[in-house]
Homo-oligomer: A and B are copies of this chain.
């Protein structure tokens, strides 16, 4: 068997972004993580707060939130500006040399405006390709890429993109050349059998069990696309996936997703 170098692709969610103390602890753990690593961050509540202060009204079509031009600007400012640069400044303080990227930077993530749906979601992008060559070059120079969930279409248009999906697409694309561990940090200790009970963590979730729990409605709503992303990633070359809370890098308490 070939021996590929390892990369940890770590996604942090809004619960960490929104709490400076949690963020500081998480970044400390992240900076201590050995080997090549990539961070993908969500946006948290900040963008909604700023949009509200700017007097923007959220747009909905058929109950689904859409990203209009003004909301896209707020997303770009908040995710690729404020949050990205604050994370990078904190990582520099920890002597972890990082760069905050949107997908437009270095043409790292090319996407296309979402199409073929009944609803026009506005400036929302679906990932087409990842620039593996540049990512490899950066990693080999000991630079930690930090991604915000903004991509571009190659024609000058920035697009809002789901951060879970970005982490998965980066993981899949790099899995051709690297042994990838994909780590999702969210608000729970793992995938729970009972969402009320933090101790009901499913230690290992394989595709058969997932199908069963989906039918039984134990796994539902927001967890469904997250886990579907995971199984797609595993089917497309990602070696290992774990889902845990903000302590996952240290505690190793998490749900391990397997095919």
Contacts and interface: CB of A to CB of B under 8 A. Distances in A.
Interface of A: 50, 53-55, 73, 76-82, 84-86, 88-90, 92-93, 97-102, 104-107, 134, 137, 141, 143, 150, 152, 154-158
B88 A102 contact: yes
Contact of A82 (B81, B100, B101, B106): B81
Contact of A92 (B54, B80, B101, B107): B107
B93 A98 contact: no
B105 A99 contact: yes
A150 B85 contact: yes
Contact of A85 (B53, B104, B141): B104
B106 A89 contact: no
Contacts of A154: 92-93
Contact of A158 (B85, B104, B152, B156): B85
A107 B182 CA distance: 26
Nearest to A73: B82
Given A97-B106, A134-B143, 4 more contacts: A77-B81, A80-B85, A81-B84, A99-B101
A92 B156 contact: yes
A97 B107 contact: yes
Nearest to A155: B93
A38 to B, nearest CB: 15
Given A54-B50, A81-B76, A105-B100, A89 B137 contact: no
Tell me which of A50, A79, A107, A141 has the highest count of chain B C-beta atoms within 10 A of its own C-beta.
Answer: A107
Nearest to A99: B105
A104 B91 CA distance: 9
Contacts of A158: 85-86, 89
A144 to B, nearest CB: 10
Contacts of A90: 156
Contacts of A54: 50, 53-54
Query: Which one of A54, A89, A93, A141 has the greatest number of beta carbons of chain B within 10 Å?
Result: A89
A82 B93 contact: no
Nearest to A105: B99
B99 A106 contact: yes
B150 A141 contact: no
